[in-house]
Amino acid sequence: MDFFHSQETLTAFEWTLRAIISFFFLIFLVKLMGQRSISQLRLLDFIMALTIGNILARPLSDEQSGLKGSMITAFALVILYIISLFLSLKWGKLRSFFDSAPFPLIENGQIIYKSLSRARISIDDLLSELRKEKVEDIQKVSLALWEPGGTISLFLYPQYEAVTPADMHLATTDFNYPKTIIKEGTIDSKELNRGGKDEEWLKKEIKTTYNAEVNDILLATLDNNDNLKVFFYKEPK
């Protein structure tokens, strides 16, 4: 276990061990921090990403830096991060410090220039975000908010919103999300049972309808109306 500590030199095997341990330790830290750290990189998350990356990177490139100390430091920082998150959930002032309230970039079809400077984005950046939302005219926007995570929330004037069945007073069917029952040739028995079916029924249905085996299937889904949709690696003969 000497490779954990600072050394004058490390063998190739010891360098490899450091890399493997650091890799799985980093995965452990990310899981401990939670999915929010990946999907919403805010102020506190950004600081943690930079700090932990720097701490763990050094012993992977410098044999005189011990891995043990870096791991302890990184773990302590993650604990502080988790404590800060829980405190911010309980204490509004701390939450406001970490994540500022959203503020408008566009209001009533007019760009608020001071807000662009506050968000540190240019007109080109704003127009790019509008294009991503299929909005070609700024005057169609009733409100555009700059969110703490660095995204923009758009609200169009009602007359420019897409028409929905509710607007037209049309009858709609219930939402029907298909269950994935086969993935890459493997049956998901749990999902299949949730649909009230078993493997025997599925194999018979595939054989009768498609003249194929389960191993031939890349993806298969089943909806609430027992409609089976199958996608093959290649179409059966």
In this predicted model, what pLDDT tens digit does every residue of 134-152 receive, in sequence order?
Answer: 999 999 999 999 987 778 9
Element (H, E) at 221: strand 217-222
Residue 106 has pLDDT above 90, yes or no: yes
List, as one string, the DSSP characters of 137-172: -GGGEEEEEE-TTS-EEEEE-GGGSPP-TTTTT---
Q: Do domains 103-160 and 179-232 have the same CATH topology?
A: yes
Answer left, alpha or beta for residue 223, where phi above 0 means left and psi between -120 and 50 means alpha.
beta
Q: What SS3 class is residue 217?
A: strand
Which pLDDT value is given to residue 92?
74
Domain ranges (residues) in the chain? 2-95, 103-160, 179-232
Which pLDDT value is given to residue 143?
95
Which pLDDT value is given to residue 3?
58
Residue 194 has pLDDT above 50, yes or no: yes
Query: Residue 4: which residues within 8 A CB-CB, separation 6 or more?
Result: 66, 67, 68
Which pLDDT value is given to residue 39?
46
**Residue length of the chain:** 237
User: If pLDDT is split at 50, 70 and 90, which confidence band does 111 have?
Assistant: very high
User: If pLDDT is split at 50, 70 and 90, which confidence band does 38 have?
Assistant: very low
To the question of domain 179-232 being in CATH 3.40.50.10260, the answer is no
- Write the CATH number of the domain with boundaries 103-160: 3.30.240.20
User: CA dihedral defined by 130, 131, 136, 140, rounded to 10 degrees?
Assistant: -20
Q: How many CB atoms lie within 10 A of CB 86?
A: 9
Q: What is the pTM of this model?
A: 0.59
Distance CA 132, CA 126 (A): 10
Q: In what order do the strands lie in the sheet with 110-111?
A: 110-111, 103-107, 141-146, 152-156
Q: Is the pLDDT higher at 194 or at 32?
A: 194
Residue 130 has pLDDT above 90, yes or no: yes
Q: Tens of pLDDT along 156-189?
A: 999 988 888 888 888 887 778 899 999 999 999 9
**Mean of the per-residue pLDDT values of the chain:** 83
Which pLDDT value is given to residue 16?
82
Strand partners, 179: 222
Percent with pLDDT over 90 in the chain: 32
Residue 65 has pLDDT above 80, yes or no: no
Cβ atoms of 103 and 115 within 8 Å: the answer is: yes
User: If pLDDT is split at 50, 70 and 90, which confidence band does 7 have?
Assistant: low
Which pLDDT value is given to residue 229?
92
